[in-house]
A = this chain, B = another copy of it.
Amino acid sequence: MAGRYGDDMNSTALPLIQLSEQFARLPGIGMKTAQRLAYYVMTMSDDDARAFADAIMTAHSTVKECSLCCNLTENELCPVCAESSRDHGIICVVENPKDITAFERTNEYNGVYHVLHGLISPMDGITPDMLRVKQLLSRVGKGVREVIMATNPTVEGEATAMYISKLIKPLGVKVTRLAFGLPVGGTLEFADEVTLFKALENRSEI
């Protein structure tokens, strides 16, 4: 990585270059932003810098996967799985822990989740055994009535939803998929053809 910053960084202290390189490894952080962040760290108080470094280590060492749904948590069970008032008969299957936050924000869903930690993508070398599919199948037997496939409406998301539904359906469990259609607040004018076709196909009586 040293070459990335080239000779024009000769005037910069080595630990600063190394910190810039660490920031540049984060997704969506380019070289210039990484440098700006590294310089910002220099202006932090000792306590603040230590709190930042500690937060990285603490999060990385204490947060693990929920033994039931594979969501990220500090305890054996994540807050959703631990809540007895939730309907453990409905499992919503998502790609990332972040997606759970999105569903929880609706305040409408009362079932539980299952986090795959990725999508099947042969192009990127991600095969089904690299996802938490086995853990999902082991849950399905135990009184589950419905599995909602809530992966993204992308090629990988669709393929993963299809793959998993084919494994679950033979077990006699209902498998559903999120509805496709116009986004609320969106306009027809800006809807793409596929979305519009799906909205037409899935039309409902008023």
Option from B26, B61, B74 in Cβ contact (under 8 Å) with A40: B26
B55 touching A15, Cβ below 8 Å: yes
Nearest-Cβ distance from residue A19 to partner chain B, whole angstroms? 4
A130 in contact (CB, < 8 A)? no
B49 touching A15, Cβ below 8 Å: no
Distance between Cα atoms of A48 and B205 in the complex (Å): 54
A13 touching B104, Cβ below 8 Å: no
Option from B22, B74, B98, B100 in Cβ contact (under 8 Å) with A35: B98
Question: Which of A3-11, A138-146, A147-155, A174-182 lies at the interface with chain B?
Answer: A3-11
Distance between Cα atoms of A97 and B38 in the complex (Å): 12
A11-B101, A104-B8 as given contacts; A57 in contact with B63, CB under 8 Å: no
A8-B105, A22-B51, A101-B11 as given contacts; A59 in contact with B72, CB under 8 Å: no
Contacts of A2 in B (CB 8 A): none
A203 in contact (CB, < 8 A)? no
Distance between Cα atoms of A57 and B51 in the complex (Å): 10
B96 touching A39, Cβ below 8 Å: yes
Distance between Cα atoms of A77 and B6 in the complex (Å): 21
Contacts of A13 in B (CB 8 A): 59, 62-63, 72-74, 78
B98 touching A15, Cβ below 8 Å: no
A54 in contact (CB, < 8 A)? yes
Best-surrounded residue of A8, A60, A74, A101 (most CB of chain B within 10 A): A60
Mark interface residues in A20-51 (1 if CB within 8 Å of B CB, else 0): 01100111110001011111111010101111
Chain B residue, CB-CB nearest to A44:
B60
Chain B residue, CB-CB nearest to A37:
B26
Best-surrounded residue of A21, A48, A56 (most CB of chain B within 10 A): A56
A100 touching B11, Cβ below 8 Å: yes
A: residues with CB less than 8 A from B are 8-16, 18-19, 21-22, 25-29, 33, 35-42, 44, 46, 48-63, 71-74, 78-80, 96-98, 100-101, 104-105
Q: Which 8 A-B pairs have the closest CB atoms?
A: A49-B60, A15-B59, A19-B59, A53-B53, A8-B105, A53-B56, A22-B55, A19-B55
